[in-house]
Amino acid sequence: MEKAILILRSVTYAYKGQRVLEKAGIRSTILRTPEEYAKRGCSYSLAVSGDGRTAADLLQKNGIRVLGTVQKN
């Protein structure tokens, strides 16, 4: 199954994003952004199963800026 990492600005946004995704029935896990994907200092991410674009679009529509998305197989 595909997985995606949604890179967010802070742990606060990760918790807010997790609540938004949960309401839409999308499970996620909060993690520190892996070093190879962190562009500026430390950031936090949400790991989700399935298509990361759908989850990222949902976050954006709810005012949570997604700094990047990494799709993994």
Tell whether the torsion through CA atoms of 27, 31, 35 and 38 is positive or negative. positive
pTM of the model: 0.90
Q: Which amino acid is at 51?
A: D
Q: With CA atoms as reference, report the closest residue to 33 among 52, 57, 11.
A: 11
For residue 57, pLDDT over 70 is answered with: yes
Per-residue confidence (pLDDT) for residue 12, from 0 to 100: 96
- DSSP H helices in the chain: 11-23, 52-61
User: Per residue in 10-55, pLDDT tens?
Assistant: 999 999 999 999 999 999 999 999 888 777 677 899 999 988 999 9
For residue 7, name the pLDDT band (cuts at 50, 70, 90): very high
pLDDT at 2 over 90: no
Q: Are 48 and 57 spatial neighbours (Cβ–Cβ below 8 Å)?
A: no
